[in-house]
Structure 1
């Protein structure tokens, strides 16, 4: 389906790296170490949609990184009727960032897909995450050898879906719009962001979000292979 593709740009969280599972394991460790008397599954059910919404606000420059890290926890614990003092929230926020990369679960088929693409395409990452945290995830998950360019929003000075971050990635990779492909889970950030600058896309669709007509969609990573002639 895709011809003349030489460069593939991936998103990291929720696309290759199983953010929800790894995040839950980080909170499990925090709850156990600090004797949090709250059902973990109940907390996660509240936390996950709140976290996505705070990331949306961060992506739209409505809140800062510090506000993101504090408010998602404050709001989630309050919603669970388990209020914490600010110093506890700050501690948990720091521990979460520390523990999160220690869990290295990837989506099924991730390594098989990357191995099948390696040597045939140049692969890169574009992520809205933060430099140290994302590089730590990549290192500990054993993904370093697959990617030539890793561009974070923090390094670029722009967050997806801003066109500037895609143009920077193309330039740094020595790619062109015409020979590039973007694969990600966020329709707003990854798919529409890439399409607005002319980059072809594959949407890794793992939610109940409606699929617009004519979008190229996969529901598991290995389904990408036949789209690339593999």
Structure 2
């Protein structure tokens, strides 16, 4: 086998972040009666939150804001879009979001079947994720996939985020392997694919939506089961 170690991204690759996030936001929208506080619809609230969250994550990855800034501001800004300036509500939603989200269990189709196949072939599998340690470990445990992974490397513990080379080098060293003997599976072109390429690791770009790309990965797949044709 060319590859001796497999590295995976979690969110948007195995764990269906969009589905789980939307379910969590809907619970918060209903439990805090946001419709009664001037938010016209859940869809509008969701669009506002997701937009702020994506922009804040980009700023967090670039080192412009802290983890606490990210967690607080995404709800504060979303609520302010609807002229709700309630700090108590902001803090409650921030806290509850992080309590509810990790217990959601939606995975992409055939995630477990594909991991079973790879485990049966005795591939050591590892996780490299930009998420926060406690949250990511809970997600994996509750979705029933934590047992597949030998090492789970989060940006919080590694002290670096994808796409920077330090987190990949940290994960490679922790696994006791080399970049040339490893392959990275992920959905984010800049973070997972170009990040892995930057340390000399081959890549599998999980790209169900087939958006245009400006870089040619080692492999591109539209469904996780296609990993069986590569590995």
Match of 1:172? 174
Q: Distance in 2 between matches of 1:164 and 1:119?
A: 30
Q: Distance in 2 between matches of 1:226 and 1:131?
A: 32
Q: Distance in 1 between matches of 2:106 and 2:164?
A: 29
Q: Distance in 2 between matches of 1:71 and 1:40?
A: 19
Q: Distance in 2 between matches of 1:50 and 1:208?
A: 24
Runs of 4+ in 1 over 3 A off after TM superposition: 206-209
Match of 1:223? 226
Q: Tell me, which stretches of 5 or more residues in structure 2 are unaligned? A: none
Higher mean Cα deviation, 146-155 or 35-44?
35-44
Aligned-residue RMSD, C-alpha: 1.5
CA deviation string 1:33-56 (max 9, x = no partner): 221213222222232233222111
Matched, 1:4 2:9: no
The 1:112/1:67 distance shift into structure 2, 3 A limit, reads same
Q: Tell me, which stretches of 5 or more residues in structure 1 are unaligned? A: none
Residue aligned with 1:124, SS? strand
CA deviation string 1:72-126 (max 9, x = no partner): 11222233x2423122111100100000011110011111111110132110000
Q: TM-score, normalised by structure 1?
A: 0.92
Match of 1:29? 27
Report the alpha carbon displacement of residue 227 of structure 1 after superposing the two structures with TM.
Answer: 1.9
Q: TM-score, normalised by structure 2?
A: 0.92
Report the alpha carbon displacement of residue 210 of structure 1 after superposing the two structures with TM.
Answer: 1.9
Report the alpha carbon displacement of residue 208 of structure 1 after superposing the two structures with TM.
Answer: 6.1
Match of 2:139? 137
- Matched pairs, number: 225
Q: Distance in 1 between matches of 2:215 and 2:65?
A: 33
CA deviation string 1:169-216 (max 9, x = no partner): 011111111110001111111111110000000111245642225333
Matched, 1:113 2:114: yes
The 1:28/1:204 distance shift into structure 2, 3 A limit, reads same
Match of 2:157? 155
Matched, 1:96 2:97: yes
